[in-house]
Structure formats: structure tokens, C-alpha cells
Structure 1
Amino acid sequence: MARKSRPQVTIARETLDRLERLADGMLARSPDLAGRLLDELTRARIVPAAKIGADVAGIGSTITYRDEATGRDQTITLVWPEDADIAAGRASVMTPIGVALLGLAAGARFTWETRMGETRELTVLSVSPPEADAPAA
């Protein structure tokens, strides 16, 4: 299947090693998802966290995005796997939506494949940086 051009991905250098280890650890259990994350990391612009704009999704960011097919907006906070709690709106970076949103800036539009194999077009509406007073993970 031909892919549209994908939006720029920017990853904090400080999180790169952990993301690579998570992807490597998932290769046996979920090779497609691990491969997607590794692909995103390979094409990402890697910069120090202090140089990443506040509107770029990273661990701890709160992201609002729209499913263009349904017009439905959803807000999640992107977290490490051990902090995930979908009922509380905390999505693991090691889920399809977590991999898809990681490193994207507000305004990015991208194609995303759900766990059920459906293809959706999503638009990042806003990204809020992690709360300064949030507990350290």
C-alpha cells in the first residue's frame, strides 16, 4: 500500500535509548508494533529535550487529536507502559496510537492503522507539555 508523506517526528535524545529498548523487547510479542516504533525512531529528528517545542508530543504530553472519518476528538496523555491507564486517559507509548502520536507537532495529519486493521486519518489538534509539578515517573 502506498503511503502518503509522513509528518516530521522529533524525539528527545534523553528518551531515545529507553524507546529503543522497549521496541527491541516487543519484537517477539508484537513485531508489527515494534517495527513501527523502530521505523519512527529511525526517521526521527533526535534533539535534546530542551530544544523540543512545547507543541511536540513526548512522554508526559497531553495530546488532543481528531479522527477525520468520525469527526470525534479524543485527548490522551502519552506515558511509559508502566504508567498506562486507558480509563484515566493515559496511553502507553507502546500502543498503536502511542507510536503514531510520538514526536508529532500540533497540526500534523497522518494515517494510522488501528489494532483491528482499519486505516484512519488523524489530525493532532493540540499538544500540551508535561505538567511541571507532575510526579516524576
Structure 2
Amino acid sequence: MTTQKAASSKRLKPRIVISETDQERLTDLANAVADRQPEIADELLTELERAKVVKPKSVPANVVKMGSTVEYSADDGQRRQVTLVYPGDADIAAGKISILTPIGTALIGLAEGQAIEWTARDDRRHKLTVLAVSSAAAEA
């Protein structure tokens, strides 16, 4: 039964794709904040470890990358649109969410149509489904 439970929890995490550039920068960022924000750093590193890492030009246009604008539906039925950014560029009023938030970490690497469950800072579980992704400018 434990094996079945473990297998079902693994199925909750969809396959994700991340560019080598995002993987390198986000790993450095997670390591830099590990002392101050250990939970979010661990979650981000876990997502990066399970991601398929590819050349920047090989990331499909419909996959969430740093700088992507994402439209998603939440488990409360509402649609939201956000842009995934680094912490220094975050501005919730402008719809720019940091990768160092639980939802930011949940979004990275997802493709249109994929859904993921994530845990908010208040320990409540949520689910979101990516509806559309507007790609960021091409990575260097």
C-alpha cells in the first residue's frame, strides 16, 4: 500500500522541461537563499532536479520559462495571468510573481494543458492548470 501511495504522489507531478540557462541560474538562486528560505529553496531544487534540462532553443514555446506570461486556472475556478520573474523584479500588483514563491516554483517548466498540485505557505494544497503561455524573449 505504501508503494501505491508513493506511486500516486509521483503521478501528481507532471513532466517538466527547463532550459540549461534557467536551470543554472535557478540552482544558483536557490542555493543563495537556502539559509533564509530553506523550504522554498528545497522545493525549487527538487523541481529543478526532476526537470528535463535542454538547450534554450529546444524549450517548446508553450512551456513556462523565466519571463513567461502564464494564464492558468486555479482550483477555485478563477483564471489568473502572471509573469514569472526573479525576486528583484516581483510586483504582485503588476502580476509579476517571483520564482521564489510556491506558485512560481510550481509553474516553472509546465506546458500548456498541464496541471500541478502545490502547497501554499499556509500549508493548504492547491491545484492549477496552465491554459496559455506567452514566451519570454529568446534566451541568450
Q: TM-score, normalised by structure 2?
A: 0.88
1:75 aligns with 2:81: yes
Which residue does 1:42 correspond to in 2?
49
Q: Between Structure 1 and Structure 2, which shows a larger proportion of helix residues?
A: 2
Aligned counterparts, 1:12-91, within 5 A: 12-68=19-75, 70-91=76-97
* Cα separation, 1, equivalents of 2:116 and 2:96: 21
Which residue does 1:109 correspond to in 2?
115
Structure 1 residue 50 displacement after superposition? 0.4
* Cα separation, 2, equivalents of 1:114 and 1:15: 23
- Shift of the 131–13 alpha-carbon distance from structure 1 to 2, 3 Å rule, reads closer
Structure 1 residue 15 displacement after superposition? 2.0
Gaps of 5+ in 2: none
* Cα separation, 2, equivalents of 1:100 and 1:111: 8
Q: TM-score, normalised by structure 1?
A: 0.90
Deviation readout 1:98-125 (Å, 9 max, x if unpaired): 1000010011111111111110111111
Deviation readout 1:50-101 (Å, 9 max, x if unpaired): 0111100001100011112x10111100011111111100111111111000
Number of residues paired by the alignment? 132
AA at the equivalent of 1:99: T
Q: Secondary structure at the match of 1:54?
A: coil
* Cα separation, 1, equivalents of 2:136 and 2:127: 25
Deviation readout 1:5-48 (Å, 9 max, x if unpaired): 11111111112221111111121111111111000111100001
1:120 aligns with 2:139: no
Q: Secondary structure at the match of 1:28?
A: coil
- Alpha-carbon RMSD across the aligned residues, in angstroms, is 1.7
Q: Secondary structure at the match of 2:26?
A: helix
Tell me which stretches of 4 or more aligned residues in structure 1 moved more than 6 Å: none
* Cα separation, 2, equivalents of 1:113 and 1:66: 16
Aligned-pair identity in percent equals 42
